[in-house]
Amino acid sequence: MRFGWTPVTALLVAVPAHAQLSARADATVTGRYVWHGISRAAGLLAQPSLAAGFRLHGLSLDGGAVLHYELDHVAPGELSEVGTGNGGLGEADFWGRAALDVGPARLQAGVVRYTFQGDPARGGLGPALNTTEVYAALSTTTQYTRKSLEAWWDVDRIHGGFLRGSFDLPILGWPFPPFAFLFIDGEAGLNIGQRANFDHRGVTHAALGVGAELRAGHLGGIGWATFAGGLRTQLNLDDATRFSGVGKSRDVVVWLWTGVTIVLGRDAREVR
């Protein structure tokens, strides 16, 4: 069982116009990097990202990049994308997305390019593993819950599919300033053909978390400051999701997370 601590910082700036431009910067520090339920690196990691987008009525187009830096020294056999020795940049991902809001539903389609920067000679993940996924997603939001179903397909190196279902359910709210929310969230993954990533077809993992969110600051009428934190646990059901370093296997992974988000712009009052 592994515990990690994840502070998050985010900034979103929106242009108050009929057609809105937006820009976002995030910085995350985490004890484990998990992708499709697979742990790719453990220890202290930094994950900065940048994104920009355009929104007109219910249609939005955006894209960006996220980097995955390993900050610890990596010993032989430890879980790492960089490889043994000093840490560094293990992965750089670039993405683009189109989304359409139709009533309480959101339709999304996008593409993600994964590029690995590690050294295979030191046990890291190198450029030979670079690949691209396309995806489509449908999410619905009601007064009480948000549910999402995503379909991912590797179109480059692996040529296989992966499904992910998730939900976000508020269980307690304080409707007066400062606004506070307590929620639970969960997800499950299903491998339908990514043989190079998973050991078998079927359910790969199931995760459940509980968190709290406090919208504590009103920034002069132009935005909000939101603080959040919680606990998340993942049950690993495939050998690939159990893998936690050379000769190491974990059925359950648990980590803590905390974060702060600053949102500026006319739409900030609509952001939970």
Angle at the Cα of 110 (from 125 to 136), degrees rounded to 5? 105
Token pair in block for residue 188:
């499950």
* Secondary structure of residue 183 in the 3-state scheme: strand
Which structural domain range is residue 15 located in? 5-270
Report the candidate in 105, 198, 85, 103 with the shortest Cα–Cα distance to residue 149: 105
CA distance 136 to 107: 8
Do residues 25 and 262 make contact, with C-beta atoms less than 8 angstroms apart? no
Q: Tens of pLDDT along the chain (272 residues)?
A: 444 444 444 444 444 446 687 777 777 878 889 999 999 999 888 888 888 888 898 899 999 999 999 999 999 999 999 999 999 999 999 999 999 999 999 999 999 999 999 999 999 999 999 999 999 999 999 878 899 999 999 999 999 999 999 999 988 877 777 788 899 999 999 999 999 999 999 999 999 999 888 887 666 655 567 787 888 899 999 999 999 998 899 999 988 877 777 665 444 333 33
CA distance 40 to 83: 11
**What is residue 12's predicted lDDT score, i.e. its pLDDT?**
46
Cα radius of gyration rounded to whole Å, the chain: 19
Report the candidate in 240, 267, 270 with the shortest Cα–Cα distance to residue 14: 267
Residue 155 identity (one-letter amino acid):
V
CA quadruple 89, 91, 96, 101: dihedral sign = negative
How far is Cα of residue 196 from the mean position of the Cα atoms in its chain?
21
**Residue 246 to residues 79, 98, 128, 169, 227: CA-CA distances in angstroms?**
7, 39, 20, 37, 37
Residue 53 identity (one-letter amino acid):
G
CA quadruple 49, 54, 56, 58: dihedral sign = negative
Structural domain total, the chain: 1
Q: What is the CATH number of the domain that holds 111?
A: 2.40.128
**What is residue 272's predicted lDDT score, i.e. its pLDDT?**
37
**What is residue 167's predicted lDDT score, i.e. its pLDDT?**
96
**What is residue 212's predicted lDDT score, i.e. its pLDDT?**
85
